[in-house]
Structure 1
Amino acid sequence: MSAIAGRRNPERERGAGTVLVVGLCAVALALLGVLVLLGQAAAAQARAATGADLAALAAADIARGLRAGDPCAAAGSIAAANRVRVAGCRITDERGGTAEIVVTAPMPYPWPAATGRARAGAPP
């Protein structure tokens, strides 16, 4: 065995730490990006659920005769105030007037919109 074969060559390993740190930073940034996207999706889903609840309550009040107006128009204005869009509005005569509302909350990326559904009416 020669003396050279047993020695480490520090010139060959020069810069290996830099490559490792750059790779770890790239992985950390990718994970951070995924977390941001998931956070925005969760926020859009919460916004859709809240908008659907409020729109259904407003529509149910009108359907039951507690306020004057068109139930679906009221649901649309409440939904717009909550940055969501009414995708479906159905008013039934069940229990004196029940509103079933479906809303969508747009996502800032080319993902499908978050959907929220709510039903409101007179208590049983």
Structure 2
Amino acid sequence: MAADTGAATVVAVAILGAVVALAVAVVGVLGASVLAQQAANAADASALAAADALSGAIAGEPCVVAGRLASRNGATVVTCSVDGPTALISVVVEGGPLSATATARAGPPGWAG
């Protein structure tokens, strides 16, 4: 009977360690998901702003306007290309050791380029 003394403590510590490891993994995945959504939102907004600048709805150079809006959303424009009335913007969002990249296109529907 004396050999079993403390066995439950070892099992409890092992279970607690597994729960903590799982929690850390879930927090990492959730953090990456939030960054990905933030990057997608910033890319969409930046592409729309660039397309507005192309159409003359707002003043400014399309890529400059896109960069300004991306920085307001916590992102940095990686690429900005203009093809006729459409804008294609790629942004990156940095969050600690993680980063997320997203691309968005805005312009009139059906533009073949």
Structure 1 counterpart of 2:109: 123
Q: CA RMSD in A?
A: 0.9
Q: Which one has a larger percent helix, Structure 1 or Structure 2?
A: 2
The partner residue of 2:13 within 18, 22, 26 is 22
In the alignment, is the contact (CA less than 8 A) between 1:64 and 1:98 conserved in 2?
no
Instruction: Extract unaligned runs of 5+ from structure 2.
Output: none
CA distance in 1, matches of 2:53, 2:18: 53
CA displacement at 1:123 relative to structure 2: 3.0
Structure 2 counterpart of 1:98: 86
CA displacement at 1:64 relative to structure 2: 1.6
Structure 1 counterpart of 2:61: 70
Larger Rg belongs to: 1
| 1:7-52 deviation digits (Å, cap 9, x = unpaired) | xxx1101000000000000000000000000000000000000000
Please give the TM-score of this superposition, normalised by the length of structure 2. 0.93
CA distance in 2, matches of 1:67, 1:26: 55
Q: Which runs of 4+ in 1 moved over 3 A?
A: none
Structure 2 counterpart of 1:57: 48
CA distance in 2, matches of 1:104, 1:39: 17
Q: Which one has a larger percent strand, Structure 1 or Structure 2?
A: 2
CA displacement at 1:107 relative to structure 2: 2.7
Percent identity of equivalent pairs? 37
Instruction: Extract unaligned runs of 5+ from structure 1.
Output: 1-9
Please give the TM-score of this superposition, normalised by the length of structure 1. 0.85
